[in-house]
Structure 1
Amino acid sequence: MSPIRASHYALLALMPALIAACSEPARDTYQGYIEGEFVNLASSQGGRLEKLDVARGQQVAADAPLFVLESADETAGVQQAARQLSAAEAQLADIRVGKRPQEIDVTRAQLVQAEANARKAALQLTRDEGQLRIGGIAQAQLDESRAQAEATAAQVRQLRSQLAVDALPSRSEQIRAQSAQVDAARAALAQAQWRLDQKTVAAPAAGLVYDTLFRRGEWVAAGNAVVRMLPPENVKVRFFVPQGVVGSIAPGRALTIRCDGCEAPVDARVTFISNEAEFTPPVIYSNENRAKLVFMIEARPTPADAPRLRPGQPVEVVLK
């Protein structure tokens, strides 16, 4: 056999090994995919979607308005609770102050009039007693005069007692009871305001509006998500490593994410390592099936690099 033909056969024999070597992935390089932990934003109250401030694919800042539900009933509830609180506070202030000077003056004037009536009734009783002794009037007239005198005297005692009570401060029990009414009214107002605030939903953090699930004018039941967001810190990569490698990886280990169309690799760090194998053989472990065991690992890029990645995107992970 000629030397040229011998070298040709040798090269053909090495071809399968060369092809296998080229097809094998580089060491510490694994296939994975991007996943997003979406935030579904909803209201605890139901209502018609009145305003939708964002669109799919839009980047929004933290606290940016997302959507508004109709709130006529909740607005009326806040107004009603506010008026009830004002009434309770006014009544408490009135109890603490007690009677006003003008009210006391009215009672004093009534007492003066009652005292005059009592004196008049007492004089009439004295005259009727004298007339009865000389036979000038009947006994019935004297009894009427005596009853009138007693009634006017009782009215004088009542008004004097009323003036004494008006001068006293309100009882502490009344003040405590009315203070409790004020606290209850204040809590009712806070509850009504909370319900009203729930009709307006803002972004809890900056991120991507991944999708909008309702259109303006549609009825949204309580708890139904209207906007689905993806904050950059919720973007992660998932990849799988053999059981012989997982022991050498710890949380915090740096890695590089490569993807088709990416201008540059994206740096990330391991945040989670699964404690369970993704594949369990149906029989006892052997050297052959142990090689089939893989463990899932998650890593997260920095929030600045996360927008360069998309959920579902296949990537290549290179451990550092």
Structure 2
Amino acid sequence: MESAALRPLCTLAAIFLSACQPREPASFNGYVEAEFVRVAAPLAGRLTALSAQRGSLIAAGAPLFVLEHEIETAAVSESQARVERSDAQARNLTHGQRRDELAAAQATLDAARAALVQSESDLKRGRDLATAGFTSGAALTATQARRNADAARVRQLEAQLRAARLGAREDEQTAAMADTAAARAALEQSRWRLAQKSVASPVAARVEDTLYRVGEWVNAGNPVVSLLEPGALKLRFFVPEPMLAQVQPGVVVQAECDGCGAPFRATVRRVASEAEFTPPVIYSKENRQRLLFLVEAWPAPQEAPRLRPGLPVQVRIPAP
């Protein structure tokens, strides 16, 4: 009788003791995934050199590969010649005519001035003769006309000489400067295209894979080398809908894998906003476990060397 009476009490005690014991953390299977840096060239060409070797560690700025660039090299030379020609034309418009041309214009002006002096002397003598009655008025008029023509000729040559000493008009100089700027811009484009044919590593990383061999044609934008940075590994696993509250970003989980040593920690950074697998059933309380959400957690950089992409891992989420 006493034992029968004590049995309910023992059952309650066992329930309370089990409630006081710490709950085991939930465990989920997942895998390691890498975020590769796939390096490509924006231009197409045949692969002529491949410096990157699979598995090697390279520094940022180290050469990776080179595509054929004969056409781009010729384009740079052509653009450079266009710039030099445009510069020369622009400088020429800022100066007057050459020294010999100015000397010839000055000599023509001197001859015209001498002719004017002679015309003025003839006009003075003709006026004196006309006053004395030795020449007619028609002859005096002809002498006056010749003197006026010589004076106009002198003014014309003086204006031409002043213009010869000046440069081109301002509008012409502005147009020449614009041509020079356009030529320089074309040169920069040619140099950029040439630089894109020799590709260097953007980061310090390990060469995970090379996707082409020397001699093969590479289309524009196609990756040639795949790089893996030391901290570019993450854990991917799936949790059911009731566990979402326990795996919010910032939560630290524990993980372990075969052959990678002691368990390590990783920090949750992303939880998918939509279920990865949604069965075509009513969302009842019984089938919530069938809604799985992707979770991504990043291990510390010092843990990355012992992990490999695709490696299966077991992730434990701490109990609330």
TM-score, normalising length: structure 2: 0.76
Matching residue of 1:65: 63
Matching residue of 1:281: 279
Alignment of 1:269-308 (within 5 A): 269-308=267-306
Give RMSD over aligned pairs: 3.3
Matching residue of 1:181: 179
Matching residue of 2:12: none
Contact 2:95–2:165 (8 Å) recurs in 1: no
Matching residue of 1:242: 240
User: Aligned partners of 2:217 and 2:122: how far apart in 1?
Assistant: 83
1:84-122 C-alpha deviation (Å, 9 max, x unpaired)? 112212222332344466653342133224545677899
User: Aligned partners of 1:221 and 1:170: how far apart in 2?
Assistant: 49
Rate the CA distance shift 1:44–1:151 in 2: closer, same or farther, 3 A.
farther
Matching residue of 1:90: 88
Matching residue of 1:218: 216
User: Aligned partners of 1:270 and 1:299: how far apart in 2?
Assistant: 4
User: Aligned partners of 1:260 and 1:175: how far apart in 2?
Assistant: 76
Matching residue of 1:13: none
Cα offset for 1:46? 1.5
Cα offset for 1:155? 5.7
Q: 2:39 aligns with which of 38, 41, 44?
A: 41
| Higher deviation after alignment, 90-99 or 29-38 | 90-99
Rate the CA distance shift 1:157–1:240 in 2: closer, same or farther, 3 A.
same
Rate the CA distance shift 1:233–1:122 in 2: closer, same or farther, 3 A.
farther
Alignment of 1:1-320 (within 5 A): 27-99=25-97, 103-116=101-114, 156-168=154-166, 170-320=168-318
User: Aligned partners of 2:198 and 2:259: how far apart in 1?
Assistant: 39
Rate the CA distance shift 1:224–1:279 in 2: closer, same or farther, 3 A.
closer
Paired residue type of 1:286:
S
User: Aligned partners of 1:315 and 1:293: how far apart in 2?
Assistant: 21
Contact 2:95–2:166 (8 Å) recurs in 1: no
Cα offset for 1:200? 0.7
Rate the CA distance shift 1:150–1:49 in 2: closer, same or farther, 3 A.
farther
Paired residue type of 2:33:
E
Secondary structure in 2 matching 1:291: helix
Cα offset for 1:68? 0.5
Contact 1:278–1:295 (8 Å) recurs in 2: yes
TM-score, normalising length: structure 1: 0.76
User: Aligned partners of 2:219 and 2:279: how far apart in 1?
Assistant: 46
Secondary structure in 2 matching 1:229: strand
Contact 1:242–1:295 (8 Å) recurs in 2: yes
Paired residue type of 2:86:
A
Secondary structure in 2 matching 1:268: strand
How many residues of Structure 1 are paired with residues of Structure 2 in the alignment?
282
User: Aligned partners of 2:28 and 2:258: how far apart in 1?
Assistant: 15
Which sections of structure 2, spanning at least 5 residues, go unmatched?
1-22, 124-141
